[in-house]
Structure 1
Amino acid sequence: MASHYIHFIVNPISGGGTHNINAQMIRNFFPSYVVVVEYTQYKGHAMALATAAMENDPYCIVACGGDGTVNEVASCLVKSKIILGIIPVGSGNGLASHLKIPKQIDRAMDIISKGRTIRIDAGKANNYYFFSNMGIAIDGMIIKKYEKAKRKKLMAYAWASFVAAFEYRTAETLLNINGQNMWIEPMLLFISNSNEMGYGMSLTPRASLTDGKLDIFMVPKINFFEKLQLAFSILKGTTESFKKARMIKCDTMNIVVPKKIFIDAQIDGEYHYLKTNKVYVTILKESLSVAF
């Protein structure tokens, strides 16, 4: 049964709820398969649904949603033989963009039906998996503000970034990267597995899902004029030429923020309140099969 059973997990409110993915539409694309379709009702539900679906040994579990839905489903499938399918109907769609999975639902369904797969790396921060990127420092504050927006659009993200640029206060941080210690007071500490953040933007254009490395993009405490320069370089895709930035490839990284008890973080575009001041980040090479 496994080779002819596909399980779809649909987030009905992804991308503002404007998509029209339903069970009948899906079954029309996969007439020769046993198709099960379930809908998420709350944050974390996709993970519960995927965990339960794995008991029935599907050929593929398809996440229909944004980066958060994809992360929840993919986190269950790490180190398993079950394939992750992606129908990107969210706002950012960072992982789908890197894999060149189209936003058109019929074309994305077609990719899954063809059965071509790639084995990609997964990042891990403490007990959380990430597949696109994660960040602490201003990143956590931006996503915290963005999640409060009524409409998850690029303008809401830009506004959250603008407000956070004024409000964020840097904290002295000890990093151990590839066995080397360094102190930094980061405004931005961004750790990426893919070359896209979502919305077509990138801080790490050289990042690869299959190189067994994470790409770190660090920016120390900077003044207001430099923040504007950084914002423009992100919009223009020229972050590598921003003078204050530092880029490092690594496979393990320890982060300690001594003067904090808890840390705000974003993991694949979702806000997380980490109840610790220590984060251990590593890469799991070729640990997830994805249809592309």
Structure 2
Amino acid sequence: MTYIHFIINPISGSGKHNLAASYILQHFPASEYQIAVDYTNHKTHAVELTKAAVKQNPDYIVACGGDGTINEVASCLVNTRIILGIIPVGSGNGLASNLNIPRNFKKAIDIIKKGKTTFMDVGKINDFYFFSNMGIGIDALIIKKYERSGNRTLSSYVKAALSSSFQYKAKQAIISFEDQKIEVNPFMLFISNSNEMGYNMSLTPKASLSDGLLDMVIIPELSFIEKLLLGFNVLRNTIEKFKKAKHYLVNEVHIKMPQKIYIDAQIDGEQYNIKTNIINVRILPKALKVLV
């Protein structure tokens, strides 16, 4: 008998996804499956619920939410035997899209029932894991404004991006990787494991979840016109045409921001305030097993 533990974020996306235990139980016969369902009720609650579920030794733990919920669940499963499942009900759903997991509940459940798995790489920034991407440039401010808007829609994201483009002030960053050292005031410093950010947009369209490398994009301070051009290219998924965006493949990056005390970051589309001005970002190859 397969034991599957579902963790549902009831307010993911618009909060109107209607995914509930009653629906899940309809699709998993009691003669074949042992099913448990928990609901989150605050940020980081999925971490608590997943840690408790891990003690029950399930075969799969399924994150039902957006990239933030998936991050909380998956962070507890890195380098364990428990397999991550995903039912995407968030707003952006970047990681699920990269894994070809559809938003249709029935189709996502079919993937879980088939039990096909693969190993994926995991990113780590200091003590935090990321599975899709992280950033410490303007995207961190965009996410901060986006979360405060209380409205998880593409239009809210665009509004947050436009507002942030006028407000964001780039600070010095010293970036070291392999034999390179770059000093720059980054408008964007974005490191990705996935080929999509969410909303079908990407800064790293060639990124792979299983190549043992992270894709880093560094964009220096920009003029007003350059900011508009960057936004146009991001929306059209033509970032390779934006000449000021420099792309690097890395397995470890050391970043120091001497003008800061703490570093604001976005990690898998959620805001974090990292209590240091030095961060180390690295890849953990094939550290998570996921249903696909």
The answer to whether TM tops 0.5 is: yes
- The 4+ residue runs of structure 1 with deviation greater than 4 A are none
Shift of residue 179 of structure 1?
A: 3.8
Shift of residue 191 of structure 1?
A: 0.2
| CA distance, structure 2, for counterparts of residue 178 and residue 84 of structure 1 | 32
| 2:286 match | 286
| 2:107 match | 107
Q: Percent identity?
A: 53
Shift of residue 150 of structure 1?
A: 2.4
Q: After superposition, where does 1:50-69 map in structure 2 within 5 Å?
A: 50-69=50-69
2:210 is paired with a residue whose SS is: coil
| 1:11 match | 9
1:231 is paired with a residue whose SS is: helix
Q: What are the Cα deviations for residues 25-62 of structure 1, in whole angstroms up to 9, with x where unaligned?
A: 11111112010000001000001100110111100000
1:148 is paired with a residue whose SS is: helix
1:123 is paired with a residue whose SS is: strand
Shift of residue 233 of structure 1?
A: 0.6
| CA distance, structure 2, for counterparts of residue 56 and residue 211 of structure 1 | 32
| CA distance, structure 2, for counterparts of residue 44 and residue 150 of structure 1 | 17
User: How many residues of Structure 1 are paired with residues of Structure 2 in the alignment?
Assistant: 290
Q: After superposition, where does 1:127-276 map in structure 2 within 5 Å?
A: 127-276=127-276
Q: TM (normalized to structure 1)?
A: 0.98
Shift of residue 106 of structure 1?
A: 0.8
Shift of residue 4 of structure 1?
A: 1.5
| 1:28 match | 26
| 1:125 match | 125
Amino acid at match of 1:61: I
| CA distance, structure 2, for counterparts of residue 238 and residue 75 of structure 1 | 31
1:77 is paired with a residue whose SS is: coil
Shift of residue 217 of structure 1?
A: 0.8
Amino acid at match of 2:92: G
Q: After superposition, where does 1:40-79 map in structure 2 within 5 Å?
A: 40-79=40-79
1:195 is paired with a residue whose SS is: coil
2:149 is paired with a residue whose SS is: coil
Shift of residue 287 of structure 1?
A: 0.4
Amino acid at match of 2:177: I
| CA distance, structure 2, for counterparts of residue 57 and residue 102 of structure 1 | 27
Amino acid at match of 1:185: N
Amino acid at match of 2:77: L
| CA distance, structure 2, for counterparts of residue 33 and residue 223 of structure 1 | 57
| CA distance, structure 1, for counterparts of residue 5 and residue 173 of structure 2 | 43
Structure 2 residue runs without a partner (length 5+): none
Bigger CA drift: 39-48 or 20-29?
Answer: 20-29
Q: What are the Cα deviations for residues 50-97 of structure 1, in whole angstroms up to 9, with x where unaligned?
A: 011011110000000011100000000000111100000000101000
Bigger CA drift: 24-33 or 83-92?
Answer: 24-33
2:76 is paired with a residue whose SS is: helix
Structure 1 residue runs without a partner (length 5+): none
Q: What are the Cα deviations for residues 99-155 of structure 1, in whole angstroms up to 9, with x where unaligned?
A: 110000111011000000110000000010000000001111110000011211000
| CA distance, structure 2, for counterparts of residue 42 and residue 207 of structure 1 | 32
Amino acid at match of 1:66: G
| CA distance, structure 1, for counterparts of residue 6 and residue 111 of structure 2 | 14
Amino acid at match of 2:170: T
| CA distance, structure 2, for counterparts of residue 179 and residue 213 of structure 1 | 16
Amino acid at match of 1:30: F
Amino acid at match of 1:228: L
Amino acid at match of 1:94: G
